[in-house]
Amino acid sequence: MKLSPIFQLREKTTPALIELLESVTLGTNGAHYRHLDTRERIHSADNPLHLVMERNERAIGNVSFCRRKKTWYVRYFAFDRVIQGTGQKRSKSGRGKLKLELQHFFNEVIDSGQLHGEVNSFYAYIDPNNEKSLWMSENFGFDTKATIATQTFSRSRLPKQTKVEQSNDWSLVSEMIRSEYGDHNYYFEHHLQQGPFYILRNKNGEIVACTKATKATWAIERLPGKMGGWLPKVIPLIPGLRKIIRPKKHSFLVPEAVVVKNHDPQLLQELFEGILALENEHLLLWWIDEIAPLYRATKDEVRWGMLHKLVGVNNANLVVKHNKDFHYDNSIPVYTCGFDFV
């Protein structure tokens, strides 16, 4: 299928694309936020392909793909306000045509195996409360395969000392991480191997916990939950909470590939507190498959902090579109890469 002239396929970013991505507020019924570090982070995308909708030298819509061998991760799914109606159940004819072309693009890539190499699945993470994203994923043939917990870990007061150390040496943790996550769905190491890694040792020098963490910065307009609408307005007035959430320029850390000996919740808590202390941050956002053994063993045993008490655990859906050659085993957790969520 030949796309209409409004669509352009690009492997490199353009100023117009970055301008679009920086302007879009993400989320609908849950959290509302904007990524503030898109301009830098987009250049770290692995093997990217951008399907950009352009009009009068402006980018008005975009779907980016990180091409990971036979699977493509769907990222930067964003539309200018002039066409955001594309995600609604009833669309004008012009908008419906754009949606139809996107449907054909997904189908052509996954079925033909010619234009873009062999591709057997697309995957993405969506907020189940975001009706537009949920509806669009269903219309493009995506099915929900897993539920990802969004677990907050916060401290208004940071430890003065920590046993946690930072390293960029992948060889120190590679064996532990591959043993824990190597068989997970969609496990890959492009971003993971780049570190930095945070390591906790026992008194004998043995590594008993480790993770990689990514730093991100958002502008938050709304938080999830019933109180989410007014929380960004009152947070600056609450002494403890205003250290954790800074709505206009909110920075936090995203751990991935978390390994803890014997799935010990106290070691996990010590690891997370140590990371916050080293980076002088007050919040971690941990996206983790809810069936992951470590999360199941620790979710009710860790003191997660003040923000957890306010917003609880929110969920994201892993959605997948695949062909007949691909099989997804729901009994195996999905590997959650920090880069994919920020």
Same domain, 167 and 117: no
Q: Is residue 332 within 8 Å of residue 159, measured between CB atoms?
A: no
Give the range of the structural domain holding residue 92, as residue numbers without chain letter: 7-141
Q: CATH no. for residue 298? A: 3.40.630
Same domain, 67 and 166: no
Q: What's the pLDDT tens digit per position in 309-319?
A: 988 998 999 99
Q: How far apart are CA 164 and CA 29, in angstroms?
A: 38
Same domain, 207 and 293: yes
Same domain, 192 and 123: no
Whether 135 is in a domain gets the answer yes
Same domain, 105 and 161: no
Whether 278 is in a domain gets the answer yes
Whether 336 is in a domain gets the answer no
Same domain, 235 and 136: no
Angle between helix 131-139 and 93-112 (nearest 10) = 50
Q: Is residue 6 within 8 Å of residue 59, measured between CB atoms?
A: no
Whether 51 is in a domain gets the answer yes
Buried b (16+ CB within 10 A) or exposed e, 231-256: bbeebeeeeebebbbbbeebbbbbbb
Half-sphere exposure of 227 (CA within 13 A, CB side): 11
Whether 27 is in a domain gets the answer yes
Closest CA to 283 of 158, 168, 165, 167: 158
Whether 15 is in a domain gets the answer yes
Q: CATH no. for residue 88? A: 3.40.630.30
pLDDT at position 113: 58
Q: What's the pLDDT tens digit per position in 18-29?
A: 999 988 877 655
Whether 74 is in a domain gets the answer yes
Q: What percentage of residues in the chain have a pLDDT greater than 70?
A: 90
Same domain, 266 and 294: yes
Whether 341 is in a domain gets the answer no
Q: What's the pLDDT tens digit per position in 30-51?
A: 677 888 899 999 999 999 999 9
Q: What is the pTM of this model?
A: 0.90
Binned at pLDDT 50, 70 and 90, residue 1 comes out as: low
Structural domains in the chain (count): 2
Q: Is residue 110 within 8 Å of residue 120, measured between CB atoms?
A: yes
Q: How far apart are CA 304 and CA 155, in angstroms?
A: 8
Q: What's the pLDDT tens digit per position in 106-154?
A: 988 987 655 667 899 999 999 887 777 777 788 889 999 999 999 999 9
Same domain, 179 and 261: yes
Q: What's the pLDDT tens digit per position in 49-84?
A: 999 999 988 999 999 999 999 999 999 888 876 665
Q: Is residue 141 within 8 Å of residue 106, measured between CB atoms?
A: yes
